């Protein structure tokens, strides 16, 4: 099998679509409240039910993902992602739309996990770090363009962002004919499903890395969901303008994700993660001092820098730590917990918003980020043996 740059591009597009599927609706949420006859607190469930479904079905797929061909899962999930998105354009009932978003999460479950699993199949040594960085950049590009696309489509109508998902249908056809199969025929006997992956969680570095994946996405959604409401209430921003502001965060992610390999080589993977969480936490606390657009702009840049460092390094670390026979299962658990972070963020913070205000939401989120940075610093000796310069390991 010859795996070319065009094949990595297909994986990056898969990751982009999966990431964009969540961020796409964020700037449009305030405009959905009235036509769907719901509330500011409840509309966030359109994000939560989507990510909850992704988390659930990621674990279900993880039970056999190591034992079947990659494209057998990837292609159908791309089709599900696209068809449910198209259907969402025509539905104006809030409950029905929640059900559709739950089904759509099945597609994302396969897309995100498979993209990283194929990278683990193909790339070794330094090449794997570069591949993970490229994937992280594609996710960041999704964070940049999805709010922009969603915001401006929402200016045409609250339901127009759903049309974006249709792109996955022709892309699925491209995957069928262009992406090579990467699972070796000899692997089926050595892969034991999700139970083998769960047994690996007894190792603290693996368990804690998965927890950090949960945490960084919890914090991401605390920003992506609630900043548009802050911008609307303080500055009267429309959906398109909020999308532009959220894109600032994504630009910073692109700039920092491409530097993670260099920073991890000079310092260490775990120190890069600590720095990322520190910047994210500091930024969220700083959101209470947003008297001007310039301040918000600078804080979003700082958040993006921290998120880019943490998210990229966490993904590289979990692939490195995962033993080959259960890598797919561990990545499924890792992806599941990412989406659980996205799911619980609007649920928990929505309750806080109901009884308090946006300032409290940002303060609590920021303290959580700073606490993760502090705890990770205390545990860093457990990770100092991870050497990105070792070309014999599976991702570094």
Q: Do 206 and 326 meet the contact criterion of CB atoms below 8 Å apart?
A: no
- CA–CA separation, 329 and 196 (whole Å): 8
* Residue 389 belongs to some domain of the structure: no
> Whole-model pTM?
0.77
pLDDT at 283 over 90: yes
Q: Do 77 and 109 meet the contact criterion of CB atoms below 8 Å apart?
A: yes
- CA–CA separation, 220 and 241 (whole Å): 19
381 sits in which H/E element: none
Query: Which residue segment(s) compose the domain that 86 sits in?
Result: 5-181+188-382
- CA–CA separation, 173 and 175 (whole Å): 5
- CA distance to 77, 143, 246, per residue, from 220 (Å): 24, 10, 11
**Cβ-count burial of 87 within 10 angstroms (0-12 exposed, 13-18 middle, 19+ buried)?**
middle
Of the candidates 246, 73, 249, the one whose C-alpha atom is nearest the C-alpha of residue 152 is 246
What pLDDT sits at residue 42?
82
Q: What is the mean pLDDT of the chain?
A: 83
Both structure tokens of 342: 């996205």
At 159 the three-state DSSP class reads coil
What pLDDT sits at residue 126?
58
Give, as one character, the DSSP assignment of residue 162: G
pLDDT band at 273 (very low <50, low <70, confident <90, very high): very high
Rounded to the nearest 5 percent, the helix, strand and coil shares of the chain are 80, 0, 20
- CA distance to 116, 129, 157, 178, 243, per residue, from 387 (Å): 20, 12, 50, 34, 38
* Residue 331 belongs to some domain of the structure: yes
pLDDT band at 335 (very low <50, low <70, confident <90, very high): confident
* Residue 296 belongs to some domain of the structure: yes
Per cent of the chain over pLDDT 90 is: 27
- CA–CA separation, 374 and 378 (whole Å): 6
pLDDT at 13 over 90: yes
What pLDDT sits at residue 193?
59
Residue listed under structure tokens 């999308």: 243
Higher pLDDT, 282 or 339: 282
* Residue 288 belongs to some domain of the structure: yes
pLDDT at 183 over 80: no
Report pLDDT digits (tens) over 204-216.
Answer: 889 999 999 999 9
Q: What is the mean pLDDT of residues 78-100?
A: 91
pLDDT band at 109 (very low <50, low <70, confident <90, very high): confident
Which of 326-330, 336-340, 347-351 bottoms out in mean pLDDT, i.e. has the lowest? 326-330
- CA–CA separation, 179 and 117 (whole Å): 14
Q: What is the mean pLDDT of residues 7-24?
A: 87
* Residue 395 belongs to some domain of the structure: no
Give, as one character, the DSSP assignment of residue 391: T
Total of domains in the chain: 1
- CA distance to 203, 206, 330, 368, per residue, from 382 (Å): 11, 11, 19, 21
* Residue 387 belongs to some domain of the structure: no
* Residue 137 belongs to some domain of the structure: yes
In CATH, what number is assigned to the domain containing residue 285?
1.20.1250.20
Q: What is the mean pLDDT of residues 274-285?
A: 95
Residues 6 or more apart in contact with residue 41 via CB below 8 angstroms: 350, 353, 354
At 228 the three-state DSSP class reads helix
* Residue 367 belongs to some domain of the structure: yes
Compute CA 246 distance to the chain's CA centroid, rounded to the nearest angstrom. Answer: 15
Which of 26-35, 87-96, 274-283 bottoms out in mean pLDDT, i.e. has the lowest? 26-35
Both structure tokens of 16: 């982009």
Report pLDDT digits (tens) over 207-262.
Answer: 999 999 999 999 998 988 888 888 888 888 877 777 778 778 878 888 888 788 78
């Amino acid at each position: 099998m010859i795996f070319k740059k065009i094949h990595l591009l297909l994986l990056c597009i898969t990751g982009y679509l999966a990431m964009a599927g969540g961020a796409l609706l964020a700037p449009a949420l305030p405009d959905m409240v009235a036509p769907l006859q719901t509330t500011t607190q409840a509309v966030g469930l359109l994000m939560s039910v989507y990510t909850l479904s992704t988390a659930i079905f990621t674990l279900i797929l993880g039970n056999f993902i190591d034992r079947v061909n990659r494209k057998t899962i990837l292609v159908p999930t791309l089709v599900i992602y696209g068809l449910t998105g198209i259907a969402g354009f025509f539905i104006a009932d809030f409950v029905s739309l929640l059900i559709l978003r739950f089904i759509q999460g099945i597609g994302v479950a396969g897309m995100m996990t498979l993209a990283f699993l194929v990278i683990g199949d193909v790339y070794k040594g330094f090449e794997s770090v570069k591949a993970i960085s490229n994937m992280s950049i594609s996710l960041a590009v999704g964070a940049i363009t999805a709010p922009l696309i969603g915001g401006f489509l929402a200016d045409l109508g609250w339901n127009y962002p759903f049309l974006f998902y249709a792109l996955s249908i022709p892309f699925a056809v491209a995957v069928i004919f262009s992406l090579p199969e990467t699972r070796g025929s000899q692997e089926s006997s050595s892969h034991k499903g999700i139970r083998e992956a769960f047994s690996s969680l007894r190792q603290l570095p693996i368990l804690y890395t998965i927890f950090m994946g949960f945490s960084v996405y919890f914090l991401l959604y605390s920003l992506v969901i609630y900043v548009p409401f802050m911008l609307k209430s303080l500055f009267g921003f429309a959906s398109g303008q909020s999308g532009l502001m959220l894109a600032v965060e994504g630009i910073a992610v692109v700039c920092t994700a491409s530097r993670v390999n260099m920073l991890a080589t000079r310092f260490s993977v775990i120190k890069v993660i600590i720095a990322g969480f520190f910047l994210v936490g500091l930024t969220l606390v700083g959101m209470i001092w947003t008297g001007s657009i310039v301040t918000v702009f600078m804080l979003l840049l700082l958040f993006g820098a921290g998120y880019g460092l943490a998210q990229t390094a966490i993904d590289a670390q979990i692939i490195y730590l995962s033993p080959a026979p259960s890598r797919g299962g561990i990545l499924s658990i890792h992806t599941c917990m990412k989406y659980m972070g996205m799911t619980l963020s609007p649920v928990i913070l929505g309750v806080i918003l109901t009884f308090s205000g946006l300032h409290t939401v940002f303060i609590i989120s920021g303290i959580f980020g700073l606490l993760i940075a502090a705890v990770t610093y205390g545990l860093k000796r457990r990770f100092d043996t991870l050497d990105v310069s070792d070309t014999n390991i599976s991702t570094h």
